[in-house]
Structure 1
């Protein structure tokens, strides 16, 4: 079956979330949901996630999977909230354990914090096939931006996470803990070896001035036009470009709260004895 796809763009974080489903009244998956977070007040809202939930309910869909392409650094995941509202299983790539190990140390998390991915309902292995109702989905490991990045292939559509952006924006940064530009290049080549007509769906868009946000392209377009990794770009040239560019980039605004929440599958840290959850700011830690 060809998947039916509904995209939701979050203006605050430039994130695109998706509902992927087989048919109205059938089953669906959510990919890369957003929990609204105000860094000035520390308050959360569910407006973005409620848009997805309302669509799912309007189509009479059963939420089967809540999928993460990786532990995002630029927005908080609404996976925990969506599961509590609509059910479903939260899944991420099995290499999330490596990311948890790194950031448990960075944030000096509580001793009981598991670095084996137990916060998630299912850890996906590279090449693992799983159903979304009548659809068949496949997890593709695409590390480089983080060690745990996963793309999801359903029919002729692939959700690439932060591995690739629109061709006029380029590719993901590799300077976060565990990132590697050589590895990202190999992951991108894996995606660009798919049939030219394969549809690629982005997790973010940061459009150049004058272009409205967009999030769908093709393998053929990426191979011809991507400003960082078009056909003919060698691994050495890509690594040099990516490394030089990464050295000029600031940290994402929400990286500190986002990573702490996202390695917990969208849940907040355990409440302290006053009933309040706290997010940590490691001073001079990154």
Structure 2
């Protein structure tokens, strides 16, 4: 019997219980899933970082902590966490992010806002360029970034990417390091942020890097709010250096009602809806990692503690 502790807020249990039990059964796992196992008897923790477990020291028999979120910045630096930590890579979450990013890239590429909000009786027959003439930059080439890049390339966009580490063999230009970041920014008419939030990526968009974008570039952030220096972005919007920012994630959530983003004409706020972990598909990822752990196989999506993701 494998004891699995579900460590999330009470409201999450009805949503996750059946998908997890079904996924364990499909994987042939004999699992005792509960929210209240004795700490020293737990084999695996299925964790939401905002849940009830913040001290991992009592879980002396725990073989791995399996995160329910794609982001691990709220748990990875916990000094009591000595067990292996796996982040969530969920096919449902990935597909949702691809749809969000593609939709908003097309929105800005086609200039739909001008038609939706500019019904002033003026006839402006100015067609947009074709996708091949629109340069899209993607910061972050993990599972989400690569999936979005693949879809945008399929639509014909001129895609390039950047990550902290160089990726070889990709079917589009990919850059790394500070020089590579400047190169990527200079060729990004639309910039998509899909980086993890770490000490190295916090405020990756700041006054200096925003100035490296083409004048009037669009910023799309469905990644992490802390990737952007809010004050620097507002200043760039006010000068026209950034033409528009569509933001889904914020340093403080919910975004306070008095935050300048709400009222700024160059900002679209969406309430952290770009994508979400889908219990049915994510439960299969959890079950597969437990199967691997029990079989002595390498776990999927292990977090590099030093890198922070």
Both structures adopt the same fold (TM-score exceeding 0.5):
no
> Under a length normalisation based on structure 1, what TM-score does the superposition of the two structures give?
0.32
Of Structure 1 and Structure 2, the greater strand share is in 1
Structure number with greater Rg is: 2
Specify which structure has the higher proportion of helix: 2
Q: TM-score if structure 2 supplies the norm length? A: 0.30
